[in-house]
Amino acid sequence: MQIKKLSDEALRTAVRGLAEEERRVTLKLLHHLREVERRRLYAVWGYSSLYAYVTTELKLSEGSAMRRIQAMRLLREIPEIETKVETGVLSLTVLSQAQPVIKDLPLEKKQEVIAKLDHCSARQADRVLAEIAPRKAKESSRPIDGKSLQVTLILTPELQEKLKQLADQEGTTGWAELFERMADRLLKPKHTSATPPPAPAVSATRHIPLPIQRFVRARDKHCTYRSPNGRVCASTFRLELDHKIPFAMGGTHDPSNLTLRCRAHNLLGATRAFGPGIQRYWAKLTTPPKQSQYPGGAHPSPSRQRRPSHGL
Ligand SMILES: [Zn+2]
């Protein structure tokens, strides 16, 4: 098709059609991502989260990935809004703005809020959502690419002053550099001996002795899961110690039986060892009551919940 030869009206019609097609394709992508998440396939493929999979393998930008995942979660909960997305009454951006704000509201209230967002621009939606839930400043963190962490902190004026003095004293210009200097000074030297500390021949309790925990963390450094096609997860976010031979099957706390895994891969290992029932058990422990769902935001999300203990 020669775009330059289209009449103005034909060009307008074509653009409209393409925008509709783009919405249909995006919805299809969300359905597929939902299924990937339901089957936890991102973990099998070597990613610590759906977000890590979408940003790394699908190469979506962080914002774009977050918008799609948040919209997907809202669609899963309120499937009837799909038609609105398909016809352009509700945009993905608006849905992703709404999801973190209304995720803890009862279902009827969520539907009520969504109804107010029809035909809203992002800015108009912001105003509607601010009336419902005035933004409260809160601390938060989210992983970026499974390695770095983006953190939002609330600093009182007193703490700001102290940190400013420290930054002047240290000659640092950025927050990360300042925190790194502070951490370097405060941290005691780690036990990084190449020789593992002795482990009891029989591990009587689930508790892994601290020297062994430190040794394994220093040795492995990141999630060691390797996918069938050889991708190593390498996430450094919320790592847990995992027993290669599960503790419940007689595995010991010897360092040779331990490895570092992110939550997704610790759970994947448990599922393979104990069957899918363990996922239902885990879901029960980590899913809040129906009316206050969700990871997700990025994640969330189940990742915000703490596991009862490592070493299933
Ligand atoms: Zn992992």
pLDDT tens per residue across span 34-69:
999 999 999 999 999 999 999 999 999 988 898 899
Residue 296 Cα to ligand 1 midpoint, Å, equals 17
Residue 291 Cα to ligand 1 midpoint, Å, equals 30
Residue 310 has pLDDT above 90, yes or no: no
Residue 97 Cα to ligand 1 midpoint, Å, equals 28
At which residue do the structure tokens 């539907």 appear?
Answer: 111
Residue 42 Cα to ligand 1 midpoint, Å, equals 10
User: Half-sphere exposure of 221 toward its Cβ, with a 13 Å CA cutoff?
Assistant: 5
Residue 300 Cα to ligand 1 midpoint, Å, equals 16
Q: Is the pTM of this model over 0.85?
A: no
Residue 217 Cα to ligand 1 midpoint, Å, equals 14
Q: How far apart are CA 113 and CA 115, in angstroms?
A: 5
Residue 295 has pLDDT above 50, yes or no: no
Those residues whose beta carbon sits under 5 angstroms from the ion ligand 1 are: 48, 223, 225, 233, 235, 262, 265
Residue 94 has pLDDT above 80, yes or no: yes
Residue 230 Cα to ligand 1 midpoint, Å, equals 13
Question: Which tens digits make up the pLDDT trace of 168-180?
Answer: 887 777 888 888 8
